[in-house]
Structure 1
């Protein structure tokens, strides 16, 4: 991924709801922080990431295929809690765009393993650069150690 230059005049600041105050920081649910992050990322993406090949709702599917070994359509259906038909439609679109290929699972002929193509890897690199830009613009107030701590704590929280 390329490094990102931050224009200090264009730094992002999240506008948090009134209940987010320093004096009650420990009483705010993690859920609310996550909700605000998702909302902010969506707003940022709507303003800064237009891609006629993939929508914001399809983006997690392509990223998951990149980072999960031997992903199948069934795995994606379970993970994203969508119908087989919806997952099939997205995968067919990705296939038509040349982002993925499906191959037969050697252990079960009926299962198809979904893999990224080189073009799909390039597309996910673009998406990851976009995500990295958003993170970098928000993390400018944090030291590298604080950022590492945040990621370690989130990992611990989710395991």
Structure 2
């Protein structure tokens, strides 16, 4: 990954977290453009399917809020996932008007493929880090994003 010229080791503490995140997102995007090819799901849809996998009770409204997209777009995307056999929608017993979205076995297999792809990119990015440094990075990122 080649960093912009303003990224220098002697000033790394002065660089905003935003810029580090921006560079990582850009690097993943470039990696994806070069390496990701799937007839069943696009790069834009990928975060939705992964979020459904890792959240216990995901609803259409939750996805709308999280990704800041319209109800219509999300409904259309969920219908596409249903048609592909990746998800099912079930009535929420606590609120019959809400539908809980869950992955099917096929959806789990698809997200396993996606996670393998993401893990490959992550391994490339962490090549300069020891196992302890990588664990520390993840611990610090978790801490940074935690509400506590």
TM-score range, shorter chain: over 0.9
Corresponding residue for residue 155 of structure 1? 142
User: Shift of the alpha carbon at 1:104?
Assistant: 0.6
Query: What secondary structure sits across from 1:140 in the alignment?
Result: coil
The match for 1:72 among 52, 59, 68 is 59
How many correspondences in the alignment? 146
Partners of 1:145 and 1:80 in 2: how far apart? 32
Instruction: Summarize deviations over 1:18-38 as a string: whole Å, max 9, x none.
Output: 100111111100000000000
Corresponding residue for residue 98 of structure 1? 85
Corresponding residue for residue 3 of structure 1? none
Partners of 2:12 and 2:95 in 1: how far apart? 50
Partners of 1:63 and 1:102 in 2: how far apart? 16
Query: What secondary structure sits across from 1:19 in the alignment?
Result: coil
Gap regions ≥5 residues in structure 2: none
Partners of 2:95 and 2:13 in 1: how far apart? 49
Query: What secondary structure sits across from 1:69 in the alignment?
Result: coil
The match for 2:69 among 78, 82, 91 is 82
Instruction: Summarize deviations over 1:82-133 as a string: whole Å, max 9, x none.
Output: 1000111110110010000001111111100000000000000000000000
> Normalized against structure 1, the TM-score is what?
0.91
Which 4+ stretches in 1 moved above 2 angstroms? none
The match for 1:128 among 115, 133, 136 is 115
Partners of 2:71 and 2:145 in 1: how far apart? 27
